[in-house]
């Protein structure tokens, strides 16, 4: 199962490990772009559920955004909603 982490904490830890020179370089700026592109966890609107897709084995759809996934995960990888796992 995945683990959630605050993006600011991730940046802080990377800066501690790599130092400002490395983390502030072009590669570090690219890493920041990747961190910013990851969907954030959206817990402010409650929970969504995984809806099974008929005709597919273990394929599910997010009730919040309609994104399809091959397995049930604690958070939707597309919209970041916390998923209710049964």
H-only helix segments in the chain: 7-23, 26-37
Model pLDDT, residue 2: 52
75 CB-contact burial (10 Å; exposed 0-12 / middle 13-18 / buried 19+): buried
Question: What are 10-68's pLDDT values in tens digits?
Answer: 778 877 887 776 777 777 788 878 877 776 665 555 678 999 998 878 899 999 889 99
Model pLDDT, residue 61: 93
List, in order, residues 6 or more apart from 56 with CB less than 8 Å away.
none
What pTM value is reported for the model?
Answer: 0.50
Model pLDDT, residue 1: 42
């Amino acid at each position: 199962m995945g683990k959630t982490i605050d993006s600011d904490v991730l940046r802080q830890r990377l800066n501690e490990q790599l130092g400002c020179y490395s983390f502030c370089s072009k590669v570090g700026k690219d890493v920041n772009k990747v961190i910013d592109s990851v969907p954030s966890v959206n817990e402010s609107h409650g929970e969504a559920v995984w809806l099974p897709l008929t005709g597919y084995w273990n394929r599910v759809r997010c009730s919040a955004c309609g994104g399809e996934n091959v397995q049930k995960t604690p958070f939707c990888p597309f919209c970041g909603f916390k998923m209710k796992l049964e």
